[in-house]
Amino acid sequence: MPQKKYMEVPSDEPRGRNISSYFRTLSIKSKSSDEVGLNHVVPAPGTPVSRLQTLKNSPESHRHVGADSDDDWNANVDSFDSPPPKHIEHIPRRSGSVHSLGPGLVMSQANTSGPLRRTPQLEASPQLEALYPSLTPARESPGMRASPGRDPAPDDLATSAQIEELNALNAKFLRFKKVITADNVNLAELKRLSWNGIPRELRAVSWQLLLGYLPTNASRRSDALARKRAEYTDGVAQVLGADHTRDTAMWHQIAIDVPRTTQHIKLYTYAATQAALQRILYLWAVRHPASGYVQGINDLCTPFFQTFLASHAPDVELCDPALLPRATMDAVEADTFWCLTKLLDTIQDNYIHEQPGILRQVRELEGLVARIDAELVVHLRAQGVEFMQFAFRWMNCLLMRELNLEMVVRMWDTYLSETPLGFATFHVYVCAAFLVKFADELKDMEFQEVIMFLQNPPTRDWGVKNMELMMSEAFIWQSLYKNAAAHLRA
């Protein structure tokens, strides 16, 4: 029987069930191009004023204004010169359909008298594009579309703030792409850029580079990926084969936990997703007998799985992986396993016997908050509240139970830029910023109210901007206190 870990989080959710292994290859439909509308004009960097971009006039486009900058690359429009993936059944375009000419410039065929022209782009090598199709943007920034040969009407004009934001996103994408498509990736520069967030199309390859899963030398990348993916496939076949004695208790515990993982997102309710996560977790546990499977590790799979799947499925949160080609899902599953392994290597002592890493982080958190807001710590102690009662889960699950997945993914951009200490060290400062943010409310609460509040903090309406502000505060405190070790001693 696997050893019971400290203070597992109870759940009343239904128990899991055994899940089938691999998937059928079907086809999925992408959104019709006539869903894109006209609204707004904006010049792309280096583009003449006469060639403008347009914001679409739809509720979805307004949702993106001021929201996570990475979402601005999430529209479902085919690349101008790239054929659609073979596994996706595309609806025929109308004459007014749109074509992506790269980040921040999409041209319409409607009212076009001459051939469409490309804005100069940074090109990835064919080998790199084959591994990561998202390096050739197949989707434009939501609402960015222009009709050459037609001057915009006055009501098509956007505010200068919107124009500035979209141009900044375009420039950000190009800066990342220049680093990532180099023959030898400059990791220091990639870390510097990633601290402030990674464009969605480039997040998968950026994470894999930051974790050291992908070689920085582009010529070695294809062989390295093929080797690691084959090794994962062989490992799964070995531990789940007829010749292997399965640890039924551990397999059963994983089968219970997987259906509980991020169940509010439809992607994680599909049998194909749950089967993949169960294989990943079981193989990791078998290969790490010092810890085995620990509740909470299942949560840490989801940012990787969803980010890597997003390279192949535009509407990733609704995607049923069973509808994708088996080769695609094999690659996503293998990459998730290896990147999870790389992450857990940096916080391995969080999950071994007695979980000393988490105990250390909680002590450091209490000492840090005592320096930042001594009054808050005095109040919590007066109410009999111990940091272990609420902060254990913050360390065990890396705040994934307190924040939505969009914010967690953005937070991991910064954590991975701090590799190898982002998850072990910087996370403590983020937790301090998170706790202190609610200091005024907590100081007016008694024991039971404090515990209930911190087990279910009011973050439902938070966006990525809230997360970025919190990480900025954490960075300031880390700069002030990181080398002053005395304040972290118990």
Q: For 264-313, how does the pLDDT look when each residue is reduced to its tens digit (9 = 90+)?
A: 999 999 999 999 999 999 999 999 999 999 999 999 999 999 999 999 98
Least-confidence region, from 142-146, 277-281, 474-478: 142-146
The answer to whether residue 322 sits within a structural domain is yes
If asked whether residues 41 and 127 sit together in one domain, one would say yes
If asked whether residues 249 and 145 sit together in one domain, one would say no
If asked whether residues 38 and 86 sit together in one domain, one would say yes
If asked whether residues 202 and 176 sit together in one domain, one would say no
> Taking phi first (over 0 means left), then psi (-120 to 50 degrees means alpha), and beta for anything else, what does residue 131 get?
alpha
Residue 157 DSSP code:
B
Cα separation, 410 vs 421, in Å, equals: 17
Q: What is the mean pLDDT of the chain?
A: 76
pLDDT of residue 217 exceeding 80: yes
Per residue in 345-360, pLDDT (tens digit) is 999 999 999 999 999 9
Cα separation, 187 vs 184, in Å, equals: 9
If asked whether residues 193 and 335 sit together in one domain, one would say yes
- Whether the model clears a pTM of 0.85, i.e. scores above it, the answer is no
Domain span at 468: 356-488
Per residue in 362-389, pLDDT (tens digit) is 999 999 999 999 999 999 999 999 999 9
Residues 6+ apart with CB under 8 A from 251: 278, 282
If asked whether residues 217 and 177 sit together in one domain, one would say no
If asked whether residues 298 and 445 sit together in one domain, one would say no
pLDDT of residue 79 exceeding 90: no
If asked whether residues 341 and 481 sit together in one domain, one would say no
Q: Are 430 and 470 in contact (CB under 8 A)?
A: yes
Least-confidence region, from 49-53, 224-228, 440-444: 49-53
CATH number at residue 405: 1.10.472.80
* Long-range contacts of 477-480, Cβ-Cβ distance < 8 Å, separation of 24 or more: 477/368, 477/372, 477/429, 477/432, 477/433, 478/425, 478/426, 478/429
If asked whether residues 174 and 42 sit together in one domain, one would say yes
If asked whether residues 277 and 310 sit together in one domain, one would say yes
Least-confidence region, from 141-145, 382-386, 416-420: 141-145
Distance (Å) of CA 462 to CA 92, 402, 414, 469: 39, 11, 18, 11
**Residue 48 banded pLDDT, cuts 50, 70, 90:** very low
The answer to whether residue 418 sits within a structural domain is yes
pLDDT of residue 393 exceeding 90: yes
The pairing of beta strand 28-29 with beta strand 88-89: parallel
The 3-state DSSP class for residue 153 equals coil
> Taking phi first (over 0 means left), then psi (-120 to 50 degrees means alpha), and beta for anything else, what does residue 111 get?
left
Longest dimension (CA), the chain: 76
How high is the pLDDT of residue 113?
A: 37
Distance (Å) of CA 183 to CA 45, 168, 226, 237, 426: 25, 25, 19, 35, 31
Give the residue from 153, 181, 209 where a domain finishes. Answer: 181
If asked whether residues 173 and 214 sit together in one domain, one would say no
The answer to whether residue 4 sits within a structural domain is yes
If asked whether residues 120 and 226 sit together in one domain, one would say no
Give the residue from 181, 198, 215 where a domain finishes. Answer: 181
The total number of structural domains in the chain stands at 3
How high is the pLDDT of residue 430?
A: 98
Specify the amino acid at residue 259. Answer: P
Per residue in 80-138, pLDDT (tens digit) is 333 333 333 333 333 333 333 233 333 333 333 333 333 334 445 555 555 555 555 44
How high is the pLDDT of residue 273?
A: 97
DSSP H helices, 111-242, are 126-131, 160-180, 187-194, 200-210, 218-239
Copy the structure tokens of residue 135: 């390096």
Give the residue from 146, 181, 216 where a domain finishes. Answer: 181
The answer to whether residue 351 sits within a structural domain is no
- ∠ CA(428), CA(464), CA(33), 5° rounding? 145
